[in-house]
Amino acid sequence: MKINPKQLERLAKRMGIQATQIDAEEVIIKTPNKDIVIKNPQVSKINMMGQETFQVTGDVEEREKEKFTEEDIELVSEQAGVSLEDARKALEETNDIAEAILKLKK
């Protein structure tokens, strides 16, 4: 069964539904453990009776978040007097900035 896009659009308007296409280059959904990145997205903003929703399709990629920033690594390196690589390794082992510094100072 084929639906005529014009008829569908008219029906949606009668029901109070408005859809708008949004020109986006990338959509990122941030979660506590990872970022969900949608490349080449097609984004529709749908307003139905005052409630706005978004529909996103595209190429999905998941990225794990880094636990520590470069600034954290530099801080541990400076405080413990060790190389950046040693500081990074200690942070990965301890998962705590203060603990990593104490471990490296021993």
Domain boundaries, the chain: 5-64, 70-105
Average pLDDT over residues 2-22: 83
Structure confidence at residue 39 (pLDDT):
96
* Percent share of the chain, pLDDT over 90: 64
The Cα–Cα gap between 41 and 49 comes to: 25
Q: Stretch 26-31: mean pLDDT, rounded?
A: 94
Coil, helix or strand at residue 64: strand
Residue 43 CA to residue 58 CA, distance in Å, equals 9
**DSSP of 12-63:** HHHTTEEEEEE--SEEEEE-SSEEEEEEEEEEEEEEETTEEEEEEEEEEEEE
The predicted model gives 63-75 an average pLDDT of 88
pLDDT at site 1 = 61
Show Cβ contacts of residue 50 under 8 Å, excluding neighbours closer than 6 positions: none
Domain 5-64: homologous superfamily in CATH: Nascent polypeptide-associated complex domain (2.20.70.30)
